Structure 1
Amino acid sequence: MSNEHQIIEGDLFSDNRGTLSFVNAFSLQPIVRFYEIAHNDTTTIRAWQAHKKESKWFYCSRGAFRINLVKLDTFDNPSDDLEVFSFELNENKPQILYIPGGYANGFKAITDDAKLMVFSNFDLETSKQDDYRFETNKWINKW
């Protein structure tokens, strides 16, 4: 995978039987675990979490989420002036956001009852050893 974040595009197929949502370009080969996040409301913000080495892939299975990223210049005391990359993942436009190690991310639901699936290439214990946290408003004050 790349050392830069990227969107992996998917698509929808509909016929009289219903709708199929897919992201065929997404390989599950590096994945060792996944979990799903459901926010209680659209005001909850989860930010900022970073990993030096762990990669994550985000997929919105219901509703919509705003996901913000920053590529860190250092993990000890990152600059307050880093560029923020902002993405909206939406159940009606199948996409996966790939975030390699070296980034901090934060997100919030922008619709009620939204669900976000997160895939990881690290097991839980290894991930905990590669976990860095920063204040919610460190890089962006408007979500």
Structure 2
Amino acid sequence: MTHEEIQLLDGGIVYDDRGSVSFVNNFNFNGIKRFYQLKNVSPHVVRAYHGHERETKYVLVSTGSAKIICSKMDNRELTGLPVTFILHSAKPSILKIPAGFANGFKALEENTTIIFFSTSSLEESQGDDFRFSWDFFGKEIWVTKNR
């Protein structure tokens, strides 16, 4: 299976005396059929890994920060090395996770909110749903390292 590549769409924030405007101007909503918002009960919860062969997802951290890990899938199996992204609401960006990838996430701070935009309806997504253990690449991948 040939895959598109994961893509990070950078945005920005503009401030003035009235407040701020956060944006990702190069994100196009064409093809988006639904969105959903996730908020874990604590930063210790890991939601992983969840993949689709036909569905593309776009991820925006609207509040807080999160570690997002992606891996390629082939024939319903994780086959790629994990790729890690840190998204933060203070630096707006949208992560494109193409069809053929699995992903998981962990909030890095309290009250983190993540919005997922999907190219599939709920019914389409449920027929294209593959789950893998959160520790598939080892538990240490989710640990924040002190520096």
TM range (shorter): over 0.9
8 A Cα contact 2:12 2:91, kept in partner: yes
Q: For residues 119-130 of structure 1, what are the structure 2 equivalents within 5 Å?
A: 119-130=117-128
2: CA distance, partners of 1:68 / 1:5: 11
- What is the root-mean-square deviation in Å for CA atoms of aligned residues? 1.2
Query: Normalised by the size of structure 2, how large is the TM-score?
Result: 0.91
2: CA distance, partners of 1:139 / 1:122: 27
Length, aligned pairs only: 139
1:14 alignment partner AA: Y
- In the alignment, structure 1 segments of 5+ residues that lack a partner are none
Alignment match, 1:41: 42
1:88 aligns with 2:86: yes
- In the alignment, structure 2 segments of 5+ residues that lack a partner are 143-147
Alpha-carbon shift at residue 131 of structure 1 (Å): 0.3
1:100 aligns with 2:103: no
1: CA distance, partners of 2:9 / 2:138: 25
Secondary structure in structure 2 of the residue aligned to 1:34: strand
Alpha-carbon shift at residue 139 of structure 1 (Å): 1.8
Q: For residues 59-70 of structure 1, what are the structure 2 equivalents within 5 Å?
A: 59-70=60-71
8 A Cα contact 2:50 2:129, kept in partner: yes
1: CA distance, partners of 2:78 / 2:43: 28
2:89 alignment partner AA: E
8 A Cα contact 2:71 2:78, kept in partner: no
8 A Cα contact 2:78 2:102, kept in partner: no
1: CA distance, partners of 2:97 / 2:42: 24
Query: Normalised by the size of structure 1, how large is the TM-score?
Result: 0.93
2: CA distance, partners of 1:140 / 1:132: 19
Alignment match, 1:10: 11
Alpha-carbon shift at residue 30 of structure 1 (Å): 1.1
